[in-house]
Amino acid sequence: MDIIWRKTLEPYDFRKLEEKWKPVWERMGLYRTGTQPDREPFYCLDYFPYPSGAGLSVGHCKNYIPTDVICRKKRMDGLNVLHPMGWDAFGQPAEEYAIRTGTHPAEVTRINSDTYRRQFKLIEASYDWEREINSSDPDYYRWTQYFFNLLFDRGLAYQTENDQMWCPECRIVLSNEEAAGGICWRCGGEVTRKKLKQWFLRITDYADRLLQDLEDLDWPEGIKAMQRNWIGRSEGAEVIFRIANPETGFELDLPVYTTRLDTIYGATFCVLAPEYPDIEKLVTSEKHDEVMDYVVEARAKSDLERTAAAEKEKTGVFTGCFAVNPYNGEKVPVYVADYVLAGYGTAAIMAVPAHDERDHAFAVKFSIPIVEVISPGGIPRGVEEAATVADGQLLSSGPFTGLDSDEARKSMAEYAIENGIGKPDVRYRIRDWLVSRQRYWGAPIPIIHCEKCGAVPDRNLPVILPEMDDFKPDDSGRSPLARAEEWVNTTCPECGGPARRDTDTMAGFVCSSWYFLRFASPHESGRPFDPEAVRYWLPVDLYVGGAEHAVMHLIYARFWTKVMYDEGMLDFTEPFSVLKNQGMIIGADGQKMSKSKGNIVTPDEMVEKYGTDALRLYILFMGPFEAELDWSEEGIAGTYRFLKRVWSVVLETAEPQPMEMDEDFIVELRYNTARTVKKVTEDVNSFAFNTAVAAMMEYVNFLSVNRERAGAAGSLWKDSIRKLLVLMAPMTPFISDELWERMNFPGDTVTQQEWPCWDEDDLILDSVEIVIQVKGKIRARMRVPSETGADELEKRALSLDRIEELLEGSEPRRVIVVPGKLVNIIP
């Protein structure tokens, strides 16, 4: 019988199954967003990708396949699932690709998103394509513009001219986030500065809320930490030093920001950033040329050059003038040095060389006195060699001497308020978000500039991006849109007079700051979204993507959501309740997969060789979801083998030969089935896909080994196969549905079956193996009835020959019994 089956068994042919089932599922509309009114919503979102020319690699699958499995399982759990996909089409990446390939960006977007969509379908990702959106579509970007106006109306969008982060390689201005570390997020090149008039959004107004609300988010610790650091809240005080130019009598209040007010009696000089506004009025004639040369030189350097040089040696120049320390009335010299940053605090510091490493280095180089005013033990330690940074007790600090740093900061701040010389202050590292780009491929900023009325929002949306053949940026700092004269010249919506359109477009990150809302009602026409749909679906229940957007997209989207909450448009303040970062897949050469390195493995080639199911299963099985893993094609052959084994086990035992019932086997089968259902359910729910797959493999191994006994389990065997197929369905839909059909299980598709449950009673076995330890080392085992109590276990363990032998007749000092598990005997 067995042999006959094997000979007549049709081989597992994944191509046939894929051809057969794809159109069937398509017709059934299996992946349409659930709308049953009595069901709970589940919104699972993958980061909205920019469709690159290279297409999807197996690395991308590490994100998309696990979320797909979750969605399929949630549907089987009876939830309404929203699992949409769209294109982050506007922005720098698409435009650069367009320039490189000489294709219009709109065309690039169309071609590349076609490729992505085809590949998503190839791996059978269950997106609802009826909800596809594209950020470069006027139906979408009119609402991006609408939100810009909303921010403008709320005073959160403003235009200002200043030194901006500029990438000479990409020829584009960058937000602070895009220029983190002085490195351009796109090209990795060094960022310089350029004085330009730009649009900003006041994200700094939300710094505290962005920080506070992180607490309750179920996000990876690392991402939360990065956002905390980026926001960079620090508590300190602003204190005013009075400066006077001895020659001209010019006087100035110089506010400095410090977190170490307790060290102020040790301030032996002040330092201004080279960008400090009134430097020229402060310098003495003798020092004028030297200082101004230094300022020009420092400002010409890139941030990276400035910080790199700083690691070697501090530079700076004396201005010739002095400032008065408001606490002790001492006159201290004022320097200009580039280790003080223009963008932070007040761009001026009081320097305490005894208790700050940077000030110490500077003081040593310029022979400035170093005065110790803090000592950890209350005893001076000497600070000539190095600064002591830790808190301690104040020394030589007037009325504050003897206080601990902590109390000192409090009472010194009170003193400052009473005497009008300063106040406690909180500062943030985060800067306002620079959103304008002098680029073609983006949503035009919907502002009209009128000589009489100023900047006026255009309410007639969308402001359509004009068709242009030559959209290349240049070095002028002007947008290519400025060349579209006809488009630029318009009339003022307020006074009707002649006016000009703003020619900047918005950075791509603006478009992606609200797209998750659009998916709730992607075809809504009179408003950005249907509030009812948003109330139902949002916030996003599960958001998955790589960690690289920690302080870009993920901070911008949070900000946007809070603004909309303040506007009364949303009833939640955080867009993404749960965030997970998938680990990258590294190419065979140990490097990140990229087209330029030529190490990309595509899902297409893997599907061709092993099929969609094997690829999906391998991606899940490779290792933990969050872990960075190396691609290996040998591994996928393993999951392919597993599927072949499933195929043969299920079909060989489809109609098992009737035989006498075997009660022991039935109990064993029940136990293994329940154990597997439980393990797979819990593991999938907790993103432990690799161990879920391992559990299924163990189960199939068990079934395979026992297939000759299939008939001895009666209908239970077939029921076990049924459960196996349901468990496999979210991971390997093709083979699951084919076998489901061949087994004549009820329903059109396994995908619409209910997720199985398990009976805890099945997990209780009649007997268990107990480990017997002597002093923590395993010396014996015994099989006992499951319900055996502690006393009985101890008695039986002690009476084992082997144990008696080891104890040599002496009474054990102590016996620890864990019923169902072990007995540990301490002689």
Range 520-549, binding RNA (CB under 7 A): 547
Shortest reach from residue 222's CB to RNA, in Å: 3
- C-alpha 742/C-alpha 650 separation (Å) is 9
Shortest reach from residue 436's CB to RNA, in Å: 22
Nearest residue (CB) to RNA, 757 versus 778: 778
Nearest residue (CB) to RNA, 523 versus 781: 781
Shortest reach from residue 785's CB to RNA, in Å: 16
Piece of the chain touching RNA by CB under 7 A; list 217-225, 396-404, 487-495, 500-508: 217-225
> 793, 817 in Cβ contact below 8 A?
yes
Shortest reach from residue 731's CB to RNA, in Å: 13
> 501, 185 in Cβ contact below 8 A?
no
- C-alpha 26/C-alpha 43 separation (Å) is 21
Encoding tokens for residue 542? 């599960």
Nearest residue (CB) to RNA, 129 versus 665: 665
E strands of 21-154, at which residues? Answer: 41-46, 80-82, 86-87, 133-134
Residue 805 binds to RNA (criterion: CB under 7 A):
no
Q: Distance from CA of residue 823 to its chain's centroid?
A: 47
Nearest residue (CB) to RNA, 239 versus 506: 239
Shortest reach from residue 409's CB to RNA, in Å: 11
Piece of the chain touching RNA by CB under 7 A; list 157-165, 197-205, 220-228, 503-511: 220-228
Nearest residue (CB) to RNA, 461 versus 806: 806
- Length of the chain equals 827
> 167, 193 in Cβ contact below 8 A?
no
- Which residue type is seen at 299? R
- Which residue type is seen at 326? P
Segment 369 to 398, residues that bind RNA, using CB under 7 A: none
Among 168, 380, 531, 635, binds RNA (CB under 7 A): 635
Omega before 399 cis (within 30°)? Answer: no
Helix axes 603-610, 105-122, angle to 10 degrees: 30
Q: What are phi and psi of 494, to 5 degrees?
A: -85, -55
Identify the DSSP state of 540: B
- C-alpha 77/C-alpha 474 separation (Å) is 55
Nearest residue (CB) to RNA, 365 versus 472: 365
Shortest reach from residue 638's CB to RNA, in Å: 3
> 817, 794 in Cβ contact below 8 A?
yes
Closest CA to 66 of 730, 808, 677: 730
Nearest residue (CB) to RNA, 195 versus 641: 641
Nearest residue (CB) to RNA, 192 versus 503: 192
Among 642, 687, 734, 755, binds RNA (CB under 7 A): 642
Residue 597 binds to RNA (criterion: CB under 7 A):
no
Segment 350 to 369, residues that bind RNA, using CB under 7 A: 350, 352, 356, 358
Nearest residue (CB) to RNA, 533 versus 807: 807
Site string for RNA, 75-114 (x = CB under 7 A): ----------------------------------------
What is the C-alpha radius of gyration for the chain, rounded to an integer number of angstroms?
A: 35
Report how far apart, in Å, the C-alpha atoms of 691 and of each of 63, 125, 579, 754 are: 17, 21, 21, 22
Q: Distance from CA of residue 636 to its chain's centroid?
A: 28
Segment 240 to 259, residues that bind RNA, using CB under 7 A: 257-259
Q: How many residues bind RNA (CB under 7 A)?
A: 87
Residue 135 binds to RNA (criterion: CB under 7 A):
no
- C-alpha 157/C-alpha 457 separation (Å) is 11
> 171, 477 in Cβ contact below 8 A?
no
Residue 426 binds to RNA (criterion: CB under 7 A):
no
Shortest reach from residue 573's CB to RNA, in Å: 24
Those residues with Cβ within 8 angstroms of residue 483's Cβ, 6 or more apart along the chain or in another chain: 468, 470
Nearest residue (CB) to RNA, 493 versus 635: 635
For residue 385, the tally of other CB atoms under 10 A from its CB is: 9
Nearest residue (CB) to RNA, 698 versus 741: 698
- Which residue type is seen at 259? T
Encoding tokens for residue 364? 């040593």
Burial of 696 from C-beta contacts in 10 A (0-12 / 13-18 / 19+)? buried
Segment 723 to 762, residues that bind RNA, using CB under 7 A: none
Mode of pairing for the β-strands spanning 585-586 and 629-630: parallel
Those residues with Cβ within 8 angstroms of residue 624's Cβ, 6 or more apart along the chain or in another chain: 583, 688, 690
Among 779, 798, 812, 827, binds RNA (CB under 7 A): 779
Nearest residue (CB) to RNA, 754 versus 769: 769
Residue 482 binds to RNA (criterion: CB under 7 A):
no
Shortest reach from residue 634's CB to RNA, in Å: 4
Shortest reach from residue 795's CB to RNA, in Å: 18
The residue whose two tokens read 């020829």 is 171
Shortest reach from residue 624's CB to RNA, in Å: 4
Residue 273 binds to RNA (criterion: CB under 7 A):
yes
Nearest residue (CB) to RNA, 24 versus 300: 300
Residue 796 binds to RNA (criterion: CB under 7 A):
no
- C-alpha 148/C-alpha 563 separation (Å) is 11
Nearest residue (CB) to RNA, 503 versus 673: 673
Shortest reach from residue 630's CB to RNA, in Å: 6
> 578, 223 in Cβ contact below 8 A?
no
Among 68, 338, 372, 652, binds RNA (CB under 7 A): 338
- C-alpha 536/C-alpha 525 separation (Å) is 19
Please name every residue paired with 826 in a beta bridge, in sequence order, or none if there are none: 814
Encoding tokens for residue 657? 């030969």
> 498, 505 in Cβ contact below 8 A?
no
Burial of 773 from C-beta contacts in 10 A (0-12 / 13-18 / 19+)? middle
Segment 645 to 664, residues that bind RNA, using CB under 7 A: 645
Shortest reach from residue 177's CB to RNA, in Å: 8
Piece of the chain touching RNA by CB under 7 A; list 164-172, 204-212, 232-240, 655-663: 232-240
Closest CA to 724 of 696, 692, 743: 696
The residue whose two tokens read 């009833």 is 571
- C-alpha 294/C-alpha 274 separation (Å) is 8
Piece of the chain touching RNA by CB under 7 A; list 84-92, 166-174, 569-577, 818-826: 818-826
Nearest residue (CB) to RNA, 180 versus 254: 180
> 74, 44 in Cβ contact below 8 A?
yes
Shortest reach from residue 319's CB to RNA, in Å: 17
Segment 288 to 317, residues that bind RNA, using CB under 7 A: 303, 306-307, 309-310, 314
Piece of the chain touching RNA by CB under 7 A; list 54-62, 99-107, 202-210, 621-629: 621-629
The residue whose two tokens read 């006077």 is 244
Residue 14 binds to RNA (criterion: CB under 7 A):
no
Site string for RNA, 667-696 (x = CB under 7 A): ---------------------x-xx-xx--
Residue 777 binds to RNA (criterion: CB under 7 A):
yes
Residue 204 binds to RNA (criterion: CB under 7 A):
no
Segment 427 to 466, residues that bind RNA, using CB under 7 A: 427, 429
Nearest residue (CB) to RNA, 570 versus 615: 615
Nearest residue (CB) to RNA, 435 versus 774: 774
Segment 696 to 715, residues that bind RNA, using CB under 7 A: 697-698, 701, 704-705
Nearest residue (CB) to RNA, 95 versus 356: 356
